[in-house]
Amino acid sequence: MLEYVYQATGLLLIAFSLQTFVDTSNSKRIGTGLFWLIYGLSFILGTVLPDWFIGLMVLALTLIAAGGFMGIGNYRHSDPAFRTASADKLKNKMFIPALIVPIGTIMWSKFTGTSALIGLGISALLALIVALMITKGKAQQSLHEGRRLIDAIGWAAILSQFLAALGYLFGEAGVGNTVSQIVKEIVPDSNLFAYVLCYTCGMALFTIIMGNAFAAFAVITTGVAIPLLMIEQSGDPIIIGVIGMLSGYCGTLMTPMAANFNIVPAALLELQNKNQVIYMQFFPALLMLAINTFLIYFLAF
């Protein structure tokens, strides 16, 4: 069933690309359309095409995005006055479709024991149907709005997949072991606080670089937390792991690489400064990182 979810996602992306190709108001419709077309085909044909060809598709996506060949088009917006009147009429009813997605995903995973991604796909479809029933809207308009949102996000929509792959490659390349050796060379022997500081700051720094705390966790926990804090210093692995992951999230708050959390909201809210979200979060994130460091130091040993 998971493969069906991927294929449905690919078909939706291809629909966006076809809409873009015929959108004459978008001066960059060819590049934008090709980007979503290639991305959609990777979902549909990912299990069929050879790895080297998928790699070429990834390079093509990178060239299109880096070359500035993506733009914004016409999405057949409804009149602003109509949208305001509809919002006043529907009020909190619009939260129902939004709640269906997380609740449905959790329930599917809990009661079926299968991939939560399957539940996410089914819940998203159910949420769309409920939203159309509530708003009395047309399915075609949902395609236009979907294209508007994904064009507003742009190439950053695929960043999470790229960064997850990067974290896997770092783990396979033995970066964690290298980090461990560097820490041992720099930090004086048995300096517990220095070890903790290297771990929490390392989690934040790698998350800033990769934009993904899960990818950073695999590298830094393997290289620093397990050999130096859990084994050598006999630290509590539960406290170290949980607060260490939270330290990674501090890095998430400070980086544009975490596009889903920082760049996407700025695009959806149409903020003039795309980094405004990061500016507002930067100093609270540093404060949280300092607190996490002391929490591990005093609670885990």
Q: Tell me the per-residue pLDDT of 123-141, one tens digit each, with 9 for 90 and over.
A: 999 999 998 888 887 888 8
- How far is Cα 2 from Cα 121, in angstroms, rounded to an integer? 9
Eight-class DSSP state of 187: S
Q: How far apart are the first and last CA of the chain?
A: 45
Predicted pLDDT of residue 221 = 87
211 Cβ neighbours under 8 A, 6+ residues apart: 159, 160, 163, 252, 255, 256, 257, 258, 259
Predicted pLDDT of residue 293 = 95
Predicted pLDDT of residue 196 = 94
- How far is Cα 12 from Cα 212, in angstroms, rounded to an integer? 26
- How far is Cα 178 from Cα 260, in angstroms, rounded to an integer? 29
Predicted pLDDT of residue 269 = 74
Predicted pLDDT of residue 263 = 73
Predicted pLDDT of residue 112 = 84
Give every residue of the chain whose pLDDT is below 50, as ranges: none
Predicted pLDDT of residue 253 = 92
- How far is Cα 215 from Cα 171, in angstroms, rounded to an integer? 8
Residue 259 has, within 13 A of its CA and on its CB side, a CA count of 15
For residue 71, give both structure tokens: 């733009």
- What burial letters (b/e) apply to 124-139, b meaning 16+ CB within 10 Å? beebbeebeeebeeee
Considering the entire predicted model, what is its pTM?
Answer: 0.69
Cβ contact 3:43 at 8 Å: no
Q: What's CA 155's distance to the chain center, in Å? A: 12
Cβ contact 105:118 at 8 Å: no
Predicted pLDDT of residue 116 = 81
